[in-house]
Amino acid sequence: DKSSLEKLISRLSRNLNFFATNYAFLAMCTILVVALMHPSMLMYVAITWALWWFHVVVIREDVRLVIMNRDLNDIFTPKRRSWILTTWTAWVAIAKCLRPSMKGMAISGALVLFHAIMRDPSKVAGDIVSRSNMSMGSSDSDDGSEVLVEREDAV
């Protein structure tokens, strides 16, 4: 007989395998809700995306950045702009996105683990179907009842 720790680990692994898609969807939705609860993070991410997009367009289209008869491309070369944007992106990722992301992952992880530990694997639909196939030879019903159908074309 298995110990209670072995049963817990078995239950956890079976539920994680069976409900993996559901758990992934739950995690995505939880992280989305947490992100929507942090509008400043979304603003910084949008600004970062816009700056990178502007940087790519300036390079691709060879746009001259001229302010007061001074070409800013001489000061902010593409390499310097890339370094500045990389530093900015790292700062946004760490200072603005890390905490909300960790909150979302912690909440979804707790929900997933709670469900995986509490859900009885013997009640999983796949197990019911496989048990009914073994005991009755049919997966049409799990309560043992049978339905007879008369066919006109039967010999």
pLDDT for 141 beyond 60 = no
- Residue 137 clears pLDDT 80, i.e. is over it: no
Pairing of strands 66-67, 70-71: antiparallel
Average pLDDT of the chain, as a whole number: 84
Question: What is the pTM for the complete model shown?
Answer: 0.65
Which pLDDT score, from 0 to 100, does residue 138 have?
Answer: 47
User: What are the pLDDT digits (tens) for 84-102?
Assistant: 999 999 999 999 999 999 9
CA angle 48, 97, 86 (to 5 degrees): 40
Give pLDDT tens digits for 12-69: 999 999 899 999 999 999 999 999 999 999 999 999 999 999 999 999 998 888 888 8
First CA to last CA distance, the chain = 52
CA–CA separation, 131 vs 133, rounded Å?
5
